[in-house]
């Protein structure tokens, strides 16, 4: 615990999510290393997230706590099959009180 004399408010950075939005994202693995092909995930049929290299990213549209999400593979490389951890092409659920950054997608 810091003493109030140890904190300089002029040098403290604060981040505020005024909208209270929850972010939804995921991890993709198995894409070609050169970024020549991509996979597009779509939430609720309207919010797209395109990824062309392995890694993590989030959808640009934040969602309210308690919102339903349904993320599907909208497009994938022609030479690949991309699936979520449960071997399906979609993932769905209800958002809780914190961000959901870990929808895992594997392309092979």
Instruction: Examine residue 9 and state whether it is found in any structural domain, yes or no.
Output: no
4: left (phi over 0), alpha (psi -120 to 50) or beta: alpha
49, 76 Cβ separation under 8 angstroms: no
Residue bearing tokens 């706590």: 65
User: Given this model, what pLDDT does residue 33 score?
Assistant: 81
Instruction: Examine residue 37 and state whether it is found in any structural domain, yes or no.
Output: yes
pTM, entire model: 0.77
CATH code, domain carrying 73: 2.60.40.10
- Per the structure, the count of domains in the chain is 1
CA distances in angstroms from 18 to 23, 63, 66, 94, listed in the order given: 13, 13, 17, 21
Instruction: Examine residue 54 and state whether it is found in any structural domain, yes or no.
Output: yes
Instruction: Examine residue 14 and state whether it is found in any structural domain, yes or no.
Output: no
Instruction: Examine residue 74 and state whether it is found in any structural domain, yes or no.
Output: yes
Percent of the chain with pLDDT over 90: 69
Tens of pLDDT, residues 47-83: 999 999 999 999 999 999 999 999 999 999 988 899 9
**Domain range enclosing 63:** 21-107
């Amino acid at each position: 615990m810091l003493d109030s004399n140890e904190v300089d408010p002029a040098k403290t950075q604060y981040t505020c999510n005024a909208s209270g939005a929850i972010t939804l994202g995921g991890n993709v693995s198995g894409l070609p290393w050169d970024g020549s092909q991509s996979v597009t995930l779509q939430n609720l049929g309207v919010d797209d997230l395109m990824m062309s290299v392995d890694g993590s990213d989030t959808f640009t549209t934040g969602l309210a706590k308690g919102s339903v999400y349904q993320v599907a593979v909208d497009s994938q490389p022609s030479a690949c099959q991309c699936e979520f951890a449960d071997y399906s092409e979609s993932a769905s659920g209800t958002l809780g009180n914190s961000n959901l950054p870990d929808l895992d997608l594997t392309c092979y």
